Amino acid sequence: MLPPQSPIVFDAAVLFRETHLPTHFIWPEDETPGKEDFEELAVPVIDVQGFLSGDPAATLSTTRTVTEACLKHGFFHVVNHGVARELIEAIHKEAADFFAMPLVEKQRALRKPGESSGYASAFTGRFSSKLPWKETLTFPYSTAPGSPSNSVKDFFLNSLGHEFSRTGAVCQEYCDAMNGLSLRIMELLGMSLGVGRDYFRNFFEGNDSIMRLNYYPPCQKPELTLGTGPHCDPTSLTILHQELVGGLQVFVDGKWRSIRPQPDAFVINIGDTFSALSNGRFKSCLHRAVVNNQESRVSLAFFLSPEKNKVVRPPKELIDEENPRKYPDFTWSALLDFTQKHYRTDVNTLESFSNWLSLPPVAARISLAP
């Protein structure tokens, strides 16, 4: 009789001192980064200052460059975005302080099974292999009618207590800024797809978005593992900030390419839900995060998502004989549930979700039970 498997505890401070990686963190060879040097991808850098200030000529040229980027691989940098440097530094400091706490303290906000919010360390208990070398803190940001106006502050207060009121206030202010920038980018995407500046902005005016702080400790064998596995974001639009330590990679033309950190820029990418809203015109792009053996890395990811129960359906202008419906109607609530309870987000999430929706309920439960 084998002794019961002792539950894996990802305490990076402990694991980093060991010579070998626990097997659960070793990814299949064809998925690991190995010791390869990855060429950088020169993603388009889009200066949005003119557009944000309402300059008509700048709006036209910015819409054009966003269109080119979204048709190419769906990743671009935005600069002169109007988000205060002090705010970005403040949330990075709050993130660093949070993840520096002892594991038992962080686990006071432990993610509950099937839920997206909360603290997780390598998703031990959620996945049984290919564990990501990272800790995450994920919380909801909602502007849906009837939702509390300070959903982020409430999360920190309710899950971690009053001593985290400053962290909650900084994260609330940061998410408010991300929400504002997201809605302006939705204006660009509406013009880019020819459905008008307000179409997607109105669609996302009320939203049920997600904010995630990613913490990647240094790893003694970075070539054998991944910080975040290959995936397309199932959400609508991701605004990601990486300070000085890189790790984000995008799969373009059959190769993994690094995105050099640019602290004064946000990395923007289209997600699956927006790909469905665009009836497949814009693709959600495969990406991942690698780790290193020298220094820790934090990335801030704001995931814009529609109000949970709003039907995700492309505007009629994007459906015609040459472009029939690519995906069924769905709600973000159903897709989020799918990723949290039935399916590990990867490159095929949207297709797998569409197939799952078409299955009779019992078969769906059996076919994708975690």
Distance CA 77, CA 79 (A): 7
Distance CA 295, CA 227 (A): 13
Q: Among 208, 233, 272, 307, which residue sits at the site for ligand AKG (rule: CB under 6 A)?
A: 233
Whole-number minimum distance, CB 272 to ligand L2PXNNRO, in Å? Answer: 9
Please state, as a whole number, how many other Cβ atoms lie within 10 Å of the Cβ of residue 323: 14
67-73 long-range Cβ contacts below 8 angstroms, 24+ apart: 67/192, 68/44, 69/43, 69/44, 70/189, 70/192, 70/270, 70/282, 70/283, 71/281, 71/282, 72/44, 73/41, 73/43, 73/250, 73/252, 73/283, 73/285
Q: Among 67, 228, 284, 296, which residue sits at the site for ligand L2PXNNRO (rule: CB under 6 A)?
A: 228
Q: Among 234, 247, 306, 314, which residue sits at the site for ligand L2PXNNRO (rule: CB under 6 A)?
A: 234
Instruction: List Cβ neighbours of 219 (8 Å cut-off, separation of 6 or more).
Output: 16, 21, 133, 225, 291, 292, 293
DSSP class of 341: I
Query: Residues 251-290: x/- map of binding to ligand AKG (CB under 6 A)?
Result: ------------------------------------x-x-
Binding range to ligand AKG, per CB under 6 A, among 172-180, 186-194, 241-249, 353-361: 241-249
Q: Among 235, 236, 278, 352, which residue sits at the site for ligand L2PXNNRO (rule: CB under 6 A)?
A: 235
Contact partner at residue 299 from ligand L2PXNNRO, ligand AKG, Fe ion, none, CB < 5 to 8 Å by partner kind: ligand AKG
Q: Among 135, 208, 233, 307, which residue sits at the site for Fe ion (rule: CB under 5 A)?
A: 233
Binding range to ligand L2PXNNRO, per CB under 6 A, among 60-68, 147-155, 190-198, 339-347: 339-347
208 lies in the site for Fe ion, by CB under 5 A: no
Binding range to Fe ion, per CB under 5 A, among 64-72, 155-163, 211-219, 228-236: 228-236
Place of tokens 């709050």: 94
DSSP string, 22-79: -GGGPPPGGGS-TTPPPPBP---EEE-HHHHTT-HHHHHHHHHHHHHHHHHTSEEEEE
Binding range to ligand L2PXNNRO, per CB under 6 A, among 148-156, 191-199, 233-241, 352-360: 233-241
3-state secondary structure of 289: strand
Distance CA 176, CA 141 (A): 9
**Active-site entry in 111, 201, 257, 297:** 297
Please work out the total of residues on this chain that contact ligand AKG, with binding judged by CB under 6 A: 12
297 assigned to active site:
yes
For ligand AKG, the closer of residues 153 and 212 by Cβ is 212
Instruction: List Cβ neighbours of 10 (8 Å cut-off, separation of 6 or more).
Output: 121, 122, 124, 131, 135
For ligand AKG, the closer of residues 132 and 314 by Cβ is 132
Instruction: Write out the two tokens for 366.
Output: 């059996």
For ligand L2PXNNRO, the closer of residues 190 and 229 by Cβ is 229
Query: Are 43 and 242 spatial neighbours (Cβ–Cβ below 8 Å)?
Result: no
Binding range to Fe ion, per CB under 5 A, among 77-85, 229-237, 306-314, 332-340: 229-237
For ligand AKG, the closer of residues 59 and 228 by Cβ is 228
Question: What are the residues facing 331 on neighbouring strands?
Answer: 311
Q: Among 111, 153, 212, 257, which residue sits at the site for ligand AKG (rule: CB under 6 A)?
A: 212
Max Cα–Cα distance, the chain, nearest Å: 73
305 lies in the site for ligand AKG, by CB under 6 A: no
Amino acid at 161: G
Distance CA 299, CA 140 (A): 17
Q: Among 33, 229, 246, 306, which residue sits at the site for ligand L2PXNNRO (rule: CB under 6 A)?
A: 229
Amino acid at 116: S
Q: Among 242, 275, 279, 305, which residue sits at the site for ligand AKG (rule: CB under 6 A)?
A: 242
Question: What are the residues facing 208 on neighbouring strands?
Answer: 142
Residues in the site for Fe ion, rule: CB under 5 A?
233
Catalytic site positions: 297
Binding site for ligand AKG (CB under 6 A): 212, 214, 228, 233, 240, 242, 247-248, 287, 289, 299, 301
